[in-house]
Structure 1
Amino acid sequence: MSIESKNNKSNLRLKTKYSLLKIQNSTFKTQNLKFTVVQFAIAGYYRHSMATE
């Protein structure tokens, strides 16, 4: 096995890891955003119910 093909294999592995990380990161961001929206909705609901009482 030549050095070049070894390098190509490790490069491919790194690229795969990187793209997986990017996917995880983006799903994490969208989940975070949903969580924040839910928090705001709950907070708004509580404020509204406190104000009406």
Structure 2
Amino acid sequence: MSATKKQLLVCLGICFVGFATSILVVTCFVMSSLQKLLSDISIANYAALYTIG
């Protein structure tokens, strides 16, 4: 009984670590995409201001 309980805890721990890792990877990917998007927007704004000015 205790062995299966330990196996269950180990499985839950591995699942939790995998879940947290995937969330971290997705967060990093979204952040880098947002940063690229913001830099593109700022470059476009500078270009528009330069064209107007």
Same fold (TM over 0.5): yes
TM-score (norm 2): 0.70
Question: Would you say how many aligned residue pairs link Structure 1 and Structure 2?
Answer: 52
Query: Partner amino acid for 1:17?
Result: V
Tell me which residue corresponds to 1:46: 46
5 Å-filtered alignment, 1:25-44, equals 25-44=25-44
Query: Partner amino acid for 1:22?
Result: S
Runs of at least 4 residues off by over 4 Å: none
Identical pairs, percent:
10
Q: Any unmatched runs of 5+ in structure 2? A: none
Over the aligned positions, Cα root-mean-square deviation in angstroms equals: 1.7
